[in-house]
Chains A and B, each alone.
Chain A
Amino acid sequence: MEALHSWADHRVFAGPDESLILGVEDLSLFALSPQACQTLGRWRSSKFVDLNSVPASDYEVLEGLRDARILRPVPRQDETQPGQQPSPQPLKVGTVPLSTLVLEVAQDCNLNCTYCYAEGGTYGAAPCLLDVDKARAAARHLLEHCGDQRHVTLIFFGGEPLMNMPAIRAAVSEAQSYARELGKQVHFSVTTNGTLLDAEIVAFLHAHRVAVAVSMDGPPDIHDRNRPGKDGQGSYAEITSRLEMLLQDSPVPVAARVTLEPDQWHRLPEVYDHLIGLGFHEVGIAPVSPVSKALLPSIGEETLLMAGFSELARRFVEVAREGFVMPFSNILDLLGRLHIGQTRPVSCGAGLGYMAVDANGRFFPCHRLTGEMDFHAGGLADGIDHDRINISLASLNKGRDQHCSGCWARNLCAGGCHYENHLRENHLGLPRGSSCRVIRGWLELGLRTYAELRSDDAIEALGQRLSQRAQC
């Protein structure tokens, strides 16, 4: 066996007792004993390690690091470099079948949320509803372009999608009958502000197993400040009065989707508790996107955000040890990816298997980029313009690979959200990487939480569930 080795890209996360080491290329996570950590520290600055000539006392650890592929054989000259073995081909736009289509059924809204990135639901244009013919055509488009996949997802979005029930009903009915014909299955979901729910709509959503996410931001003072109606009055009472019929006998989980502004980040655990208390089956919390400079956080606020996430992660571990799953979407999604070590060639499916159609029947790479005309990519009549997607995403991401090449989180983050980058770099003129600190902090918290769950095998029961979630 080859004796001369060099270090593969890795990152050590020091712990009070044992430390963690992450193989950056593979996303393989190992625990290091204190002795292993010390040995690693002695050898880490050596460019080469010859396993035939290391002291016997260091051999076991260095051999273990070789078995973990943190140390890799130095190739002979006629061999390809390890780590430079043919990397997986980058996913090409247009070659990935469509699996999820977002329908912007209503580019209009009855609320006036402070942080809305869709300019009051209109995405910067005149208020507009998707007509039923286009809704049907979009449902057919998804099923005609999904390749061999048996399961696809149709998402209703807005603005407030429940303002256009005729389009939702038409799309669901068309998708179901066409899917039956093709032997496929369509899953539906809707993100709503909840203010227009009534018995008839709830019956429809339940009958078609539509997964509902309700945008709610927590206790009344936070929610009403963030999500007022057009008249300036808060919407909390309006929603909670309708929530019970939605939650009651729902055939699929109902989630709360939270957006918090930086000065609310210190209240994360309280917000989570409040929404679980209202009966939601799952809660996901997003720090607001900086649609204006006023919403950019200070370092102190970022620290408070991480403290809130840390507290929720700590409780997640506590609950897992008792054999339960805490329904906190953020940590569940991250742990799922870390559990299988899922690397990503791209940050998300936007423009690949994931597309959005706006109320005028125009395609965009994702729901958040809707209305950003630089990203407009064809329409229902002529199909998706893959060249336009390539050009717009390439322009947004020019040089990003190089920017990320030294980052340990690159295979987890893969450059981050296109929309968030577009917002920060093109609209606000911020330098590249303005959100990296928070992203890395969050990913490190996930790694440490995962390791803690592993430490007493609390994750064994969770394992399968997490894998499934990561592969959704």
Chain B
Amino acid sequence: MKTKRPIQALNEKARAIQSLADGENKSVRASQQGPPAMPVGCTTIFDTGWETNPRPTYPVGNCMSSAKDFHGCAGDCWWPAQVPDGLTNHEDFDKQCPNIARDWRVLKYD
């Protein structure tokens, strides 16, 4: 058997797992040495919940930065992120949703 590593992925599931680890290791290295190859700015997909929180902690099923965007980007702040539209549809979203991290799902915005 031609083994390139001491542990060689054989089936497709194993390959996927190993390549995932390769990707993770690269980003760790990138943040540790030399000029960082970290992404800058906002996510390119404006989809709340894209980076979901897998832990049973707030914000449940959402990401911290997205939860913060609800306040940071609402009202008179214009930003093309998917947040409650405080000018027209969700003027009083603070009342509907007093704790963004916990209650964001009740807003039913699209």
CA distance A61 to B56 in the complex (A): 33
Stretch at the interface among A248-256, A321-329, A335-343: A335-343
State the main secondary structure of chain B at its contact with A.
Answer: mixed
- Contacts A66-B21, A69-B17, A78-B57 given; indicate if A29 touches B5 (C-beta within 8 A): no
In the complex, residue of chain A having the shortest beta-carbon distance to the beta carbon of B25: A67
Known: A28-B16, A36-B6, A341-B13. 16 other contacts (CB 8 A): A23-B14, A30-B9, A30-B14, A31-B10, A64-B6, A68-B14, A68-B18, A68-B21, A78-B55, A340-B13, A341-B12, A450-B10, A450-B11, A451-B1, A454-B10, A455-B1
Asked if residues B10 and A79 are in contact (CB atoms below 8 Å), the reply is no
Evaluate contact between B7 and A36: CB separation under 8 angstroms. yes
- Does B98 sit within 8 A of A, measured CB to CB? no
B99 within 8 A of partner (CB): no
In the complex, A464→B69 CA distance in Å? 44
The 29 sampled A-B contact pairs (Cβ below 8 Å) are A17-B1, A18-B1, A18-B3, A21-B7, A26-B13, A26-B14, A29-B9, A29-B14, A31-B8, A33-B3, A33-B6, A36-B6, A64-B6, A64-B7, A67-B17, A67-B21, A68-B7, A68-B18, A78-B55, A80-B55, A85-B54, A339-B12, A341-B11, A341-B12, A341-B13, A341-B14, A454-B11, A455-B2, A467-B12
A residues with a Cβ closer than 8 A to B are 1, 17-18, 20-21, 23, 26-33, 35-36, 39, 60-61, 64-69, 78-80, 85-86, 338-341, 450-451, 454-456, 463, 467
Question: Do B56 and A67 have beta carbons less than 8 Å apart?
Answer: no
For residue A449, give the distance in angstroms from its CB to the closest CB of chain B.
Answer: 12
In the assembled complex, which residues on chain A have CB atoms less than 8 Å from the CB atom of B6?
32-33, 35-36, 39, 60-61, 64
From residue B54, how far is it (CB to closest CB) to chain A in Å? 7
Asked if A28 and B14 make an inter-chain contact with CB atoms under 8 angstroms apart, the answer reads yes
How many Å from the CB of A399 to the closest CB on chain B?
29
Binding site for A on B (CB under 8 A): 1-3, 5-14, 16-18, 21-22, 25, 28, 54-57
In the A-B complex, the 3 residue pairs with the closest CB atoms: A341-B13, A67-B21, A36-B6
List chain B residues, Cβ under 8 A from A463.
12
Number of A-B contacts (CB under 8 A): 98
Contact B5 A340 (CB under 8 A): no
Shortest beta-carbon distance, A62 to chain B, in Å? 10
- A135 CB to nearest B CB, Å: 41
How far apart sit A33 and B3, CA to CA, in the bound complex (Å)?
7
CA distance A309 to B1 in the complex (A): 23
Q: Which residues of A contact B5 (CB under 8 A)?
A: 33, 64
B15 smallest CB distance to A (angstroms): 8
Q: Would A338 and B21 count as touching, CB distance under 8 A?
A: no
Please report the C-alpha to C-alpha distance between residue A139 and residue B10 in the assembled complex, in whole angstroms: 42
Closest to A70 in B: B7
Q: Which of A28, A31, A78 contacts B13 (CB 8 A)?
A: A28
- Alpha-carbon gap, A446 to B7, bound state (A): 20
Contacts of A39 in B (CB 8 A): 6
Give Cα A27–Cα B13 distance, bound, in whole angstroms: 7
B13 proximity list for chain A (CB < 8 A): 23, 26-29, 340-341
Q: Which of A1, A21, A30, A340 has the most CB of B within 10 A?
A: A30
B22 touches A67 (CB 8 A): yes
CA distance A471 to B34 in the complex (A): 45
B56 to chain A, nearest CB (A): 6
Query: Separation in Å of the A204 CB from the closest CB of chain B?
Result: 40
